[in-house]
Amino acid sequence: MITLHTIAELRSQVKAARIAGKTIGFVPTMGNLHAGHISLITRAREECDFVVSSVFVNPLQFNDKSDLQRYPRTLPEDQAQLDAAGCDLLFAPDVDEMYPNGQDEQSIVHVPVVSEGLCGGSRPGHFDGVSTVVTKLFNQVLPDKAFFGEKDFQQVAVIRKMVDDLCMPVEVVTVPTARAEDGLALSSRNGYLTAEERALAPGLFQTLREIAAELEAGSGPDSVLENATERLNQRGFRTDYLEVRSAESLAEAASGDRRLVILGAAFLGNARLIDNLVVTLNRGIV
Ligand code: PAF
């Protein structure tokens, strides 16, 4: 695997691969890689001839500057994992390479509606930062396919809409959430948990499964979510949101909807964890 730090070098290597007739797969990341990221590389390896990944902690998507500062940067370990997983090229630009005119003068890609509410509500500007950097990375790499984890359900919805609305010639492929044995979704932010918090952390996914079971049993979403919020708080979390949405459009779930996504975000100590569960009910919700 080669590691490159400039857009010019990246473009020239990808161009050579394309001239050699190879299809290009792309896995954008912010580094501090875990098995979830590696499952994206594995999938890209299966589906594409030349696999590019990026490690870039994107300042534009952090509304909280202290969150940006403490975000783990582990490039040597990331390089070793990507190499072992069969990645061909790692692009690891610095902030000046990505934002040469400064972040304040950067043109912004805003994806309406799906980027509002949920994490977009709690983290203002977050999805503008994501859609802007992903647009830049797509224009730099020009991939045939790009791979994203389903754990970031709203992020995937934002990127799919952006690709569709702006006619970007890239196929978005999603990969199921990687979980620890106790159900906790793998995340770079799990590293912020103390041992005690780590033991409580599967409570978020457990709460999502309980919500699914109660909806399946015919209870209405409002009371189910209210009780679930109380339970999640009793489990040691500070609930940010728990919501039930249409899995297709991410719109508020309407009565009769069967294919739903239950989304949750909650603080546990210094970590903000997110997770989701897609369910197809036998009967529509009431
Ligand atoms: O999911 C992430 O790690 C980031 O939001 C992404 C897609 C790499 C953009 O910075």
Say which CATH number the domain at 48 has: 3.40.50.620
Band of pLDDT at residue 286, cut at 50, 70 and 90: confident
With tokens 């473009």, the residue in question is: 11
For residue 180, being part of any structural domain is answered with no
Of residues 133, 139, 170, 186, the one with CA closest to residue 155: 133
* 188 Cα–ligand 1 center, Å: 11
What CA–CA distances, in Å, run from 113 to 120, 163, 174?
Answer: 10, 15, 21
Ligand 1 centroid – CA 51 distance (Å): 17
37 & 138 share domain: yes
Q: Tell me which residue of 225, 234, 236 sits closest to 264, measured CA to CA.
A: 225
Indicate which residues carry an active-site annotation.
Answer: 37
Q: Using CA atoms, how far apart are residues 231 and 225, in angstroms rounded to an integer?
A: 10
Q: For 183-203, how does the pLDDT look when each residue is reduced to its tens digit (9 = 90+)?
A: 999 999 999 999 999 999 999
Is the same domain home to 146 and 221? Answer: no
Q: Count the helices and strands in the chain (H runs, E runs).
A: 11, 9
Same domain, 156 and 121: yes
Domain identity same for 70 and 117: yes
pLDDT digits (tens, 9 = 90+) for 13-42: 999 999 999 999 999 999 999 999 999 999
**Whether pLDDT at 134 is above 90:** yes
Q: For all residues of the chain together, what is the average pLDDT?
A: 97
CB 79 within 8 A of CB 40: no
What percentage of the chain has pLDDT greater than the value 90?
Answer: 99
Residues 157 and 240 in one domain: no
Q: Ligand 1: which residue has its CA nearest to atom 9?
A: 130
Count of the separate structural domains present in the chain: 2
- Our answer on whether the CB atom of 130 is closer than 6 Å to any ligand 1 atom is yes
Answer whether residue 158 is part of any domain.
yes
The verdict on residue 283 lying in a domain is no
Supply the pTM of this predicted model.
0.97
Are 193 and 161 part of one and the same domain? no
Query: Considering 154, 175, 196, which residue would you say is the last residue of a domain?
Result: 175
Asked, for residue 59, whether it belongs to a domain, the answer is: yes
What mean pLDDT comes out for the span 62-89? 97
CA of 30 to the centre of ligand 1 (A): 6
245 and 167 in a single domain? The answer is: no
Domain-located, residue 182: no
pLDDT of amino acid 23 = 99
Q: Give the structural domain span for 202.
A: 188-278
Specify the pLDDT at position 274: 98
- CATH label of the domain that carries residue 220: 3.30.1300.10
Percent of the chain with pLDDT over 70: 100
User: Average pLDDT in the 244-261 region?
Assistant: 95
Q: Does residue 42 lie within any of the structural domains?
A: yes
Contact at 8 Å (CB) between 173 and 146? yes
Average the pLDDT over 37-53 and give the result.
98
Domain boundary among 175, 199, 225: 175
